[in-house]
Amino acid sequence: MRGIILAGGAGSRLRPITLAVSKQLLPVGDKPMIFYPLSVLMLAGVRDILVITTPDDLPQFRRLLGDGSQLGLSIDYAPQSEPRGVADALLVGAEHIGDGGVALVLGDNIFHGHGFYGLLQENVRNVDGCVLFGYPVNDPERYGVGVTDSRGKLVALEEKPAVPTSNRAITGLYFYGNDVVEVARECRPSARGELEITDVNRHYMKEGRARLVDLGRGFAWLDTGTPASLLQAGQYVRVLEERQGVRVACVEEIALRMGFIDAETCYRLGKELEGSAYGRYVMDIAQEMPLEEYSGLRR
Is pTM beyond 0.85? Reply is yes
Is residue 97 a contact partner of residue 180, using CB atoms and an 8 Å limit? yes
What is the residue-level pLDDT of the chain in tens, covering all 299 positions?
A: 999 999 987 777 788 887 888 889 999 999 999 999 999 999 999 999 999 999 999 999 999 999 999 999 999 999 998 888 899 999 999 999 999 999 999 999 999 998 899 999 999 987 989 999 999 988 888 888 888 887 778 888 888 878 878 888 999 999 999 999 999 999 898 888 788 899 999 999 999 999 999 998 789 999 887 888 889 999 999 999 998 888 999 999 999 999 999 999 999 999 999 999 999 999 999 998 764 554 444 43
**Beta strands 168-176 and 102-106: pairing type?**
antiparallel
pLDDT at 149: 85
How many other CB atoms sit within 10 Å of the CB of residue 297? 17
Is residue 216 a contact partner of residue 134, using CB atoms and an 8 Å limit? no
**Residue 296: Cβ-neighbour burial (10 angstroms; 0-12, 13-18, 19+):** exposed
pLDDT at 295: 43
